[in-house]
Amino acid sequence: MIEISTDLIKAKKILENNDLVSIPTETVYGLAGNIYSETAIKKIFETKKRPLFNPLIVHIHDKEELVKIAIEIPEKAAKLASHFWPGSLTLVLKKNSAIPDIITAGKDTVAVRVPNHPLTLALLKSLPFPLAAPSANPFGSISPTTAQHVANYFQDDLSLVLDGGKCQNGIESTIIGFEDNKAVLYRLGSISIEDLEAVIGAIEIKNNDENTPNAPGMLSRHYAPKTKTILVNDVANEMPKFKGQRIGLLLFQPNDYLFPNTVTEILSETADLKEAMSNLYAAMHRLDKENLDLIIAEKFPNNNLGKSINDRLLRATKN
Ligand code: TXA
Ligand code: MG
* Tens digit of pLDDT at every position of the chain (319 positions): 899 999 999 999 999 999 999 999 999 999 999 999 999 999 999 999 999 999 999 999 999 999 999 999 999 999 999 999 999 999 999 999 999 999 999 999 999 999 999 999 999 999 999 999 999 999 999 999 999 999 999 999 999 999 999 999 999 999 999 999 899 999 999 999 999 999 999 999 997 644 444 554 444 678 889 999 999 999 999 999 998 999 999 999 998 887 888 999 999 999 999 999 999 999 999 999 999 999 999 999 999 999 999 999 999 998 7
| ipTM exceeding 0.85, yes/no | yes
Is 173 close to ligand 1, i.e. is its CB under 6 Å away? Answer: yes
How many A from CA of 45 to the centre of ligand 1?
13
Q: How far is the CA of 137 from the centre of ligand 2 (A)?
A: 7
| Cα distance between residue 66 and residue 78, in whole Å | 10
Distance CA 285, CA 143 (A): 9
**H or E element, residue 240:** none
**Cα 215 to averaged position of ligand 1 atoms, centre (Å):** 7
Q: Choose among 88, 93, 151: nearest CA to 120.
A: 88
> How far is it, in rounded angstroms, from Cα 151 to Cα 227?
20
Instruction: Find the 188 Cα to ligand 1 centroid distance in Å.
Output: 11
User: Does 27 sit in the ligand 1 pocket, CB within 6 Å?
Assistant: yes
C-alpha 236, offset from chain centre: 30
Of all protein residues, the one whose alpha carbon is nearest to atom 32 of ligand 1 is 215
User: What pLDDT is attached to residue 70?
Assistant: 98
* CA-proximal residue: ligand 1, atom 33 (nearest): 215
Per the annotation, does 109 bind a ligand? Answer: yes
Q: Which of 200, 186, 198, 215 is nearest to 74 (CA)?
A: 200
Q: Where are the domains positioned within the chain?
A: 3-218, 229-317
Q: Whose CA is nearest to atom 15 of ligand 1?
A: 134
286 is in an annotated binding site: no
Question: Would the CB of 130 count as within 6 Å of ligand 1?
Answer: no
Please state which architecture CATH assigns to domain 229-317. Answer: 3-Layer(aba) Sandwich (3.40)
Q: Tell me the ligand closest to 143's alpha carbon.
A: 2
Pocket probe mutation, ligand 1, options 57, 93, 116, 218, max atoms within 8 Å of Cβ: 57
Cα 126 to middle of ligand 1, angstroms: 23
Report how far Cα 105 is from the mean position of its chain's Cα atoms. Answer: 19
Distance 82 CA to ligand 2 centre (A): 25
User: What pLDDT, on the 0 to 100 scale, is given for residue 258?
Assistant: 76
For 112, which DSSP code? E
CB distance 186 to ligand 1 below 6 Å: yes
Please, is 174 exposed, middle or buried when counting C-beta atoms within 10 Å of its C-beta (0-12, 13-18, 19+)?
buried
The answer to whether 220 is annotated as binding is no
Shortest-distance ligand to the CA of residue 25: 1
Tell how far the Cα of 221 is from the centroid of ligand 2, in angstroms. Answer: 11
Quote the strand ranges of the chain, DSSP E.
3-5, 21-23, 30-34, 57-59, 70-71, 89-95, 109-113, 131-132, 160-162, 174-179, 182-187, 204-205, 229-232, 247-251, 262-266, 294-298
Which one of 162, 172, 281 would you pick to mutate in the ligand 1 pocket, going by the greatest count of ligand atoms within 8 A of its CB?
172
Find out if CATH 3.20.20.70 is the number for domain 3-218. no
34 annotated ligand-binding residue:
no
